Amino acid sequence: MGDTQNLLFFIKLIMSKFTTYEEGWQNMSKIVNIQASDDYKLLIDFDDGSSITYNMQKLVRTIQYFRLNDLKYFQAIKFDGKSVYWDAENEKPEYLPLRLSIDTILFSLRD
């Protein structure tokens, strides 16, 4: 899915889920599946049948996400419905797990 399609999905998702100011984001879609590709992209499927491709190529070059440059570690991604995450590496217990919420992912797609 291209950048334009991701932006259109983001707008559609916001418009469909944000009904009134008081209700807020209570009906936000949940992640039901995720796949990590060899080129540092995530294919994220939601419970409403929609999906997005999240390109992490630039993000894995930042200090916070640099350890995701190890493709095996990057592809060991997990999800919990509202976020995607990577557990801390067993051999380095001082590392904290990495986590990206749906909100963070969708917010970054608008750029």
Provide the CA 102 distance to its chain's centre, in angstroms. 6
pLDDT confidence tier of residue 20, bands split at 50, 70 and 90: very low
Per-residue confidence at 19, pLDDT binned at 50, 70, 90? very low
- Is residue 83 predicted with pLDDT exceeding 70? yes
Round to whole Å and give the CA distance between 64 and 77.
Answer: 16
State percent of the chain over pLDDT 70.
68
* CA 29/CA 102 separation, integer angstroms: 9
**Exposed/middle/buried for residue 108 (C-beta within 10 Å: 0-12, 13-18, 19+):** middle
Q: Which residue has the higher pLDDT, 105 or 19?
A: 105
Fold classification of 3-109 (topology level): NE0471 N-terminal domain-like (3.30.2020)
pLDDT tens digits for 37-78? 999 999 999 999 999 999 999 999 998 888 899 999 999 999
Q: What kind and span of H or E run contains 5?
A: helix 3-17
Extents of the domains making up the chain: 3-109
Q: In the predicted model, what is the mean pLDDT of the chain?
A: 81
Q: How many residues would you count in the chain? A: 111
